[in-house]
Amino acid sequence: MSDVVSFAAARKGAAPRMRIGLLRLTDGAPVIAAHEFGFFADEGLEAELVVEPSWANIADKLAFGFLDAAVIVPPLAFAVELGLRGAAQPLLIPFAISAGGNTVTLSRPLAQETNERANSDGVSIVAALAACLRARNATLGVVHAYSTHNLLLRYWLATAGIEAGRDFKLAVVPPARAVEALTTGQIAGFCAGAPWGDVARRARVGAIVATSRDIWRNAPEKALAVRTHWAEERPEALGGAIRALLRAAKFCDDPENAAYTAALLSRRKYLDIDPHAILAGLPGGTAPDKGCVFFRGAATFPWRSHGLWFLTEMRRWGLVDESIDLRALAERVYRPDLYRGAIAHLGEPAPLADWKHEGAHDAPWTAEAAPAPIAMPADRFCDGAIFDPDAVASANLAAKSALHNL
């Protein structure tokens, strides 16, 4: 008996520890499930989940080694890698956590005005919203400057010809404060991850007028960022974490498990929110096809073209300067090679390519993958644009050769 105890203790002592930071968001589901179901432990990993109140805490704790990994918005991972907002820390993204799940939620009067204008003028929601915003110089909230929300909202509104700063104000409002800010009129709407749109809707202060997929169908959302030093010292542990998360992603993506996952996430130590508000944003939840995707359509695969799209949009809005080679940065941080290596013996398919054209598919398509192809959903942008990662590379090369010619 005492032998068994000491053996277990010895094994526990030897297990690599991974401290994973996350925010109170629905797309933390795979990490929470992997922890609660013992999937990390099955891979010989001692995971410790740390729920943080802000993206700033996630960034600083990664930068100073208080966290080994985090569920992160990819633009913030690039900001930490580059040291754009504080101390720098090399990070890598070997696993994508989710696609979709964000909502554009407006105050009820603004939502009503937008819908009425869309109907009477026969225009799209975004065109109607742009006209309303221009007329009243309103403020919209996003969750952080280096967030997917900031980039997606700007992209969407720019397709209707309006720009933050010139035609409307954009402010950072932590999602936990967004409902209050909407009530007091400090903001007229916000773009944030699930469940916050549904929390505002259920509190009867907001109405959801669009979701991620209205801006970019199958838009990549959260990713797992890992400190490069931690990963390089423990390649086996990193592989284990990827396998544990893949298993959890499958569970969370199964519509049958939605109610169970919502109950798990609603616990006080995680989201501490009404499970019904969480349920809406889960696969198979009360708002089918509008919420988060965790597994289907290679949602866990860290496409380098996703990283490059975020970087290109960050440059568009002046968040990264011109001197940085975006393609090399996307390649350094996004690591599909580590993903493939970790799951190679599981028989789970992984895409063969690291890059793809984004927005090129109006209808479901099939991605080449081994050992079997993967059924992919449509990935159209709201403006029909097609993002060609090679075009970004050639722009960089052109800049370089222009310099060379001087």
Partner 1 sequence: MRMSLRILLIDMDADRARALEEKLSESGFAEILRAPDDLELAETVERTKPDLVIIDMALPDRDALEDIRAVSAAHPIVMFAGGDDPAFAEEAIAAGVCSYNLSGVALQDVKPIMASAIALFRRYRRVEEELAAAKAMLEERRLIERAKAILMQGRKMTEPEAYRWLQKKAMNENRKLAQVVQEFIERHEADSAAATQAGRKQP
- CB-based contacts of 200, cutoff 8 Å, min separation 6: 105, 178, 179, 182, 190, 206
Residue 177 engages partner 1 in binding (rule: CB under 8 A): yes
Is the separation of the CB atoms in 149 and 142 below 8 Å? Answer: yes
Under the criterion CB under 8 A, does residue 260 sit at the interface with partner 1?
A: no
Residue from 15, 41, 50, 56 touching partner 1 (CB under 8 A): that is 56
Q: Does 158 bind partner 1 (CB under 8 A)?
A: no
Q: Which region among 25-33, 128-136, 164-172, 218-226 touches partner 1 (by CB under 8 A)?
A: 164-172
Residue for token pair 């720019």: 158
Contacts by 166-169, CB closer than 8 A, 24 or more apart: 167/130, 167/133, 167/134, 167/137, 168/133, 168/134, 168/137, 168/138, 168/139, 168/140, 169/137, 169/138, 169/139, 169/140
CB of 184 to partner 1, least distance (A): 6
Indicate which single residue of 6, 10, 11, 53 sits in contact with partner 1 (rule: CB under 8 A): 53
| Minimum distance of partner 1 from residue 398's CB (angstroms) | 31
- Does 186 engage in binding with partner 1 (CB under 8 A)? yes
Distance CA 79, CA 88 (A): 8
Residue reference for tokens 């994973």:
20
- Rounded to a whole number of angstroms, the CA Rg of the chain reads 21
DSSP string, 187-248: -SEEEEETTHHHHHHHTTSEEEEEEHHHHBTT-B--EEEEEHHHHHH-HHHHHHHHHHHHHH
Q: Is 306 in the site for partner 1 (CB under 8 A)?
A: no
CA atoms within 13 A on the CB side of 62: 34
Helix (H) or strand (E) run with residue 253 in it: helix 235-253
330 binds partner 1 (CB under 8 A): no
> Which of 36, 46, 180, 383 touches partner 1 (CB under 8 A)?
180
Options 167-175, 329-337, 358-366, 367-375: segment touching partner 1 (CB under 8 A): 167-175
**One symbol per residue from 57 to 76: x for binding partner 1 (CB under 8 A), - otherwise; what is it?**
x--xx--xxx----------
Q: Which is nearer to partner 1, 141 or 349 (CB)?
A: 141
Q: Is 176 in the site for partner 1 (CB under 8 A)?
A: yes
CB of residue 53 to partner 1, shortest distance in Å = 5
Q: What's the min distance (Å) between Cβ of 26 and partner 1?
A: 17
Between 164 and 393, whose beta carbon lies closer to partner 1?
Answer: 164
Task: List interacting residues with partner 1 (CB under 8 A).
Answer: 1, 5, 53-57, 60-61, 64-66, 85-87, 143-145, 165, 169-177, 180-181, 184, 186
